[in-house]
Amino acid sequence: MDHFQYRDGQLCAEAVPLARIAEAVGTPFYCYSTATLERHYRVFAEAVAELPATVCFAVKANPNIAVIRTLARLGAGADVVSGGEMMKALEAGVPAERIVFSGVGKTRGEMALALKAGIMQINVESEPELAVLDQVARELGVIAPIAVRVNPDVDAKTHRKITTGKSENKFGIDWTSAREFHARAAAFAGLRIAGLSVHIGSQLRKLEPFREAFARVREMVLTLREDGHAIETIDFGGGLGIPYGDDADDMTSPGPQDYAAVVKAATDDLGCRLIFEPGRVIVGNAGVLVTRVLYVKHGATRRFAIVDAAMNDLMRPALYDAYHAIVPITEPPAGTGIVETDVVGPVCETGDTFGVKRPLPEAGADELLAIRSAGAYGASMSSTYNTRPLIPEVLVRDDAFAVIRPRLSVEEMIAQEAYPDWLG
């Protein structure tokens, strides 16, 4: 459930008509619902409440500090993959002891930043990283708590660009060499092995890949303990999918309760602290991208609605062929004619397409559309391609809204650049 519903013929975010926000801030813009963010977090947290769990929001899904603070006030920790994300999480009020640092390419500076802040743990993904982290920790005179990310070689059956648990992926330590890796890690004076980490991919719509991966994690915990390693935590990553409205599987997608049952079956007697990194499942359906139709163009065989949002604002359709439901802001009256429409942006690439042959009312220029399920990996992946300024992000609570990231102006973009002396 989300809190974007029609009221008196207008699509609203909670009690605020999206058309009212469009009039105030212009289009395109992102809009997030506080009620949806809070509800989705609580549903996940309650699903794992019987487990010894820490829920760390995956900041990469939506790194706006207002979004992070909304979740932090409910008790959320943070899963970060850069020093910048960690600084945002701390700024938003996430306690350092509830922050986990993941990722395959941490720099020395990022490691030092994390260790000085005193975060919960750093998830290590390679032997060279292990050696560098040990050196940084000893230079600072601290012991770095680590979890080794293992790659269970499980097919997540998701898009090839967001699967992370196969043997050919760049993430984690190969399953078959994990014991030897832990033996070498234990020899570093600046490190303390705290746990095990796994993450097999994103937007998973079936439980079986989780079940298979978590069974392997269980076996590895028991084996490592036999080898003398005190495995205290298991970081299960994230990856639980959400309904985008693209197929019948939406009606059967597993929810947090189903997911928690799989975790419980794998860990019930291990006595480990469990860490979860939900991202998309918290924020995905808590946001929409609102855009205005600039022109309606009739091709030889297709009808195009050319909108003012573009692939630089929402990259997912171009990058992953991702589906996002598209709906009119003004609710069409019963009996309104529906026509198949390609919704496209103004960027000069065919990939700048949000939807093909979508059944939409036969609306004309100046109509507002909402691209749904855009709260995750929307604004966070946006760019200034074609010198298009970053667009506003708006947060709604009840009948109020606030701009939580203003629209960047072209003048501000130009001011960030400079001529070299020979062009001055």
| Cα 227 to Cα 240: distance, rounded to the nearest angstrom | 32
Residues serving a catalytic function are 348
Start-to-end Cα distance in the chain:
56
**Chain centre distance of CA 196:** 22
